[in-house]
Structure 1
Amino acid sequence: MTRLLAAASAAVLLAVPALMALFGGFVAGPADSKSPPLMPPDTGHPLGTDALGRDVLDLVLTGGASIAALTGLSLLLSYLAGVPLGLLVAGARSRWVSGGLLRVLDFVLALPGLLVLLVLAAVDWRGAPALVLAIAVLQLPAVVRIARSAALAPGCRATVEALTMQGESWWRIHLGHVGRAALGPVATDAGTRLGLVLYLVASANFLGLGLPPASSDWAVLVERNKEALFLQPFAVLVPAGLLVALCMGVNLLADQFLTGRGEVRS
C-alpha cells in the first residue's frame, strides 16, 4: 500500500509539469507585455503579471517546453555517443587504447558541471546549442562506464566467447549482440540520469547561461522575477514549484522502478 501511494504521488508530481510542457502551448495566449509589470492576480490575469508585464499563466503554460526539449536533447545526445563508445571500449583489443580513453573520460567526470557552464559563459560560449552540447559531454563519461560495465558482465562475456568461436565478426558481436544485452542497464541509468540533466539545465537557465532573459522557460522566469518575490510571489513560486515537482517526480519514479527491479530479481 505504501509503495502504491508513493508511485501514485510520483506519477502526479511528474504528470502535472509534463502535461503542461507538452500541451500548455496549445491553450496559452500570446505572452505579450502590454500590461503593467508585477500586477497581482485579477480576472484578466489569474496569476498576475511578471516583471516585464507579461501574463504569468501564459508564461507558465509555455515555459515547460523549452526545459523539456533541452533536457531530452542533452540526454539523447549523451547516450547516442556514450553507448557505442562504451561498447567499443569494452571490446577493444588493445588495453592501452581503452585505458587511455577511460583516463580522459575520468578527467571530464571529475569536473563540476556548473563550474564548466560558468566558464563557458565567461568566454561567451552560451545559448541553447552550447548548453545541450556541454551537458551531453559532461554526462558522457558516466554513460560510457555504464555501457562498458554492462558489456563486461559475465553473461555478455560468455556470449562473446561463444559467438567468436562461431566466427561472427567483431562488429556484429560487440555492437549487435552485446549492445542488445546492455540495453537494460542503460535504460535504467537513463531514468535516474534524467533528474541530474534536468537539474543542470534548470540551473544553467536560472544563472542566465542558456536561454535569453526574455524566454518563458520556468527557470528563467524564477531568475527574472526573484527580486519581486514579495511583490508578486506567483511569478516566482509557480514556475519554481513546477520545476521542483518535475525533478521530484522523475526521481521518485526512477526509485520505484529500481526498487521493482530489485524485488523481481530477488
Structure 2
Amino acid sequence: MRRRRMIYLPLIAIPLIFAAAGPLLARSAPAERLVPFGPSPWSPFGADRLGRDVLAAALTGGQSFLLVSLLTVLGAYLAGFAIGVAAAAAPRVWLDDLLMRPVDVLLCIPSLLIIMVAALRTEGSGLAIAGAIGLALVAPIARFVRMAASGVVHGPVMDALRMQGETRAYRYGRYAVRELARPLAADFGIRFTAAVYFLASANFLGLGFDTTAPDWAVSVAANKDALLIAPWSVALPAMLIVLLVVGTNLLADDLLSDPRTVAADHTRGGSTRD
C-alpha cells in the first residue's frame, strides 16, 4: 500500500504544482514573442507556434483546465447523487422507474455527440460545452450512486434502526456516510478522469475553445503539426494530462480497495518475507 502511494502521489502532485504555482513561476518568462517553434532563452523546451515559451505556457495553462474539469464534475455529481439517492430510497417501484428510466435513455447517447451538439447550438460556448460534459456524466453517476446506496438504505443495519423506532436522523446519516464514503470517493476520481478526457477531447477538436489559450489540451491540439520539429510543445502539456489521469485512477483504485483485503495482502506479504 505504501509503495503504491509513493507512485501515484507524485503523479498527481506534479500537475497540481504546475496549476497552483505555475502562474507565479511563469512571471519571469520572457514577455516578448520568440521565433515560433524556435529555441527559448528561458527553458530548454523551446517556443510553441505562437512564440511563447513552452514551459511558461504549461505553467499558466493548468489552472483553467483543472478548474473547469473539477467544477464540471462537482456539478454533475450533485445532480447524479440526488437522483441516485432518491431512486435508492424510493418507497415505490414506479418512483424508482420514474427517476431512472430517463437516466437509462441518457446513457444510450454518446457523450461526444452531446458535447458536439451543445457546441454547434451555442456557437462554441465554453460554458455550454462544460455543461454538456456534466450532463454526459450525470447518468453514470446516478446509476453508480443508486447501486451503492441501495445496499445501505435497504440493508440490515438500516432495518434494525427502523425496527428500534430510531427517530434521530443523524444516526441514519452517520451510518450512510460511513458506508458510502469510500465507493463514492473512488467513483468521484473516476468521473474526474472522464471529465478530463471529455474536456481534452473537446479542446483537441476545437469545439469553441480559444485556440490561442495556453490550456494544456488546446496546446496539444494547436501544436500537433509541429510534433517532429518541436516535440516538447506537444509532449509537455500531454504529459501533464497523462500524469493527472493515471495518478487519479491509481488514487481511485486505492480508495476503492477493501481495507480487509489490503490488510490480508500486507500480512501475507510480511509472512512471505519472514
Q: TM-score, normalised by structure 2?
A: 0.83
Q: State which of 63, 82, 85 in structure 1 corresponds to 2:83.
A: 85
SS of equivalent to 1:126: coil
Equivalent residue letter for 1:105: V
How big is the shift at 1:119? 2.2
Which residue number in structure 2 is paired with residue 190 of structure 1? Answer: 188
1:18 equivalent in alignment to 2:16: yes
Greater alpha carbon shift after TM alignment, 208-217 vs 73-82: 208-217
Give structure 2 stretches of 5+ with no counterpart.
265-274
In the superposition, relative to structure 1, how do residues 244 and 184 fare at CA in structure 2: closer, same or farther (>3 Å)? closer
Contact 1:221 1:239 in 2 (8 A): yes
Which residue number in structure 2 is paired with residue 138 of structure 1? Answer: 136
Q: State which of 121, 134, 145 in structure 2 corresponds to 1:123.
A: 121
Contact 1:225 1:235 in 2 (8 A): yes
Q: State which of 141, 145, 148 in structure 2 corresponds to 1:147.
A: 145
Which residue number in structure 2 is paired with residue 55 of structure 1? Answer: 53
Q: What percent of counterpart residues are identical?
A: 35
Q: State which of 2, 27, 30 in structure 2 corresponds to 1:29.
A: 27
Which residue number in structure 1 is paired with residue 271 of structure 2? Answer: none
For residues 107-137 of structure 1, give each alpha carbon's deviation from its aligned partner in whole angstroms, at most 9, with x where no partner exists. 1112221222122222235333223221221
Contact 1:84 1:175 in 2 (8 A): no
How big is the shift at 1:22? 1.4
Which residue number in structure 2 is paired with residue 72 of structure 1? Answer: 70
Which residue number in structure 2 is paired with residue 258 of structure 1? Answer: 256
CA–CA distance in structure 2, aligned partners of residues 260 and 159 of structure 1:
19
Which residue number in structure 1 is paired with residue 36 of structure 2? Answer: 38
SS of equivalent to 1:49: coil
In the superposition, relative to structure 1, how do residues 38 and 260 fare at CA in structure 2: closer, same or farther (>3 Å)? farther
In the superposition, relative to structure 1, how do residues 257 and 160 fare at CA in structure 2: closer, same or farther (>3 Å)? closer
How big is the shift at 1:33? 7.4
CA–CA distance in structure 2, aligned partners of residues 247 and 102 of structure 1:
29
Equivalent residue letter for 1:68: L
Contact 1:10 1:249 in 2 (8 A): yes
SS of equivalent to 1:147: helix
Equivalent residue letter for 2:38: P
Equivalent residue letter for 1:232: A
Contact 1:226 1:236 in 2 (8 A): yes
Contact 2:158 2:172 in 1 (8 A): no
Contact 1:38 1:231 in 2 (8 A): no
In the superposition, relative to structure 1, how do residues 260 and 93 fare at CA in structure 2: closer, same or farther (>3 Å)? closer
Which residue number in structure 2 is paired with residue 109 of structure 1? Answer: 107
Q: TM-score, normalised by structure 1?
A: 0.85
How big is the shift at 1:262? 6.0
Number of corresponding residues? 262
Greater alpha carbon shift after TM alignment, 47-56 vs 59-68: 47-56
Equivalent residue letter for 2:203: N
Contact 2:34 2:53 in 1 (8 A): no
Equivalent residue letter for 2:207: L
Contact 1:221 1:236 in 2 (8 A): yes
Equivalent residue letter for 1:229: L
Equivalent residue letter for 1:19: I
Report matched runs for 1:161-240 at 5 Å. Answer: 161-165=159-163, 166=165, 168=167, 172=169, 176=173, 179-180=176-177, 181-209=179-207, 211-240=209-238
SS of equivalent to 2:27: coil
Equivalent residue letter for 2:230: Q
CA–CA distance in structure 2, aligned partners of residues 178 and 259 of structure 1:
19
In the superposition, relative to structure 1, how do residues 96 and 60 fare at CA in structure 2: closer, same or farther (>3 Å)? same
Contact 1:198 1:247 in 2 (8 A): yes
How big is the shift at 1:151? 2.1
How big is the shift at 1:167? 6.6
How big is the shift at 1:159? 4.0
For residues 197-247 of structure 1, give each alpha carbon's deviation from its aligned partner in whole angstroms, at most 9, with x where no partner exists. 211111111212253112111000011111122222221111111111111
Equivalent residue letter for 1:49: A
Greater alpha carbon shift after TM alignment, 149-158 vs 50-59: 149-158
For residues 63-88 of structure 1, give each alpha carbon's deviation from its aligned partner in whole angstroms, at most 9, with x where no partner exists. 11111101111111112122122111
